[in-house]
Every structure is written in C-alpha cells, then in structure tokens.
Amino acid sequence: MAQTDRQISEKDRCPACKGAGWTWWLPEEEPQGKWIVCRECIGTGRTDAKGRKRQKPEADPEAT
C-alpha cells in the first residue's frame, strides 16, 4: 500500500515526526546521518501508534 493512500489527519499526526513515521538522526561521531523509526509513534506516524509502519524517506532532509 502506498504511503499516499494512508493520509493522516493533522490532529492525529505524531508531533515528533509530523506523520512521517521516521526521524532523521545525525550522530556526533559519524559524518553522515540516517533515517530511524520514530520512537514516539513506533513508525506509524500517528499519535496513538496504531496502524502499519510508514515507508522510509529516500533522501536526507539536508539534501534539499
């Protein structure tokens, strides 16, 4: 199922990842960051953490 098929209303989105299900993590000791599953919603993108995990973004947010 495509991620666009699972629209999450603004009020139900996780405040940490804003509904993406993934957060960008840039450790101090490594030169490159990576996407990790949001720990607040366990990757669902919802405040109640119900539903399937969201697909990982393809590019890092600093690249745009």
What would the pLDDT profile of 32-61 be if each residue is shown by its tens digit?
889 999 999 999 999 988 878 888 888 777
Kindly state the DSSP code that residue 13 receives in the 8-state scheme: B
Has residue 1 been placed in a domain?
Answer: yes
Domain count, the chain: 1
The percentage of residues in the chain with a pLDDT greater than 90, rounded to a whole number, is 42
Q: What is the pTM of this model?
A: 0.69
Has residue 64 been placed in a domain?
Answer: no
Has residue 63 been placed in a domain?
Answer: no
30 vs 41: CA distance, rounded Å: 25
DSSP H helices, 1-64, are none
| pLDDT at position 64 | 58
Q: How many CB atoms lie within 10 A of CB 49?
A: 13
Provide CB contacts within 8 A for 20, sequence distance 6+.
38, 45, 54, 57
Has residue 60 been placed in a domain?
Answer: no
Has residue 62 been placed in a domain?
Answer: no
Has residue 9 been placed in a domain?
Answer: yes
Has residue 30 been placed in a domain?
Answer: yes
Q: What residues make up the domain containing 28?
A: 1-54
| pLDDT at position 37 | 95
Helix (H, G, I), strand (E, B) or coil at 34: strand
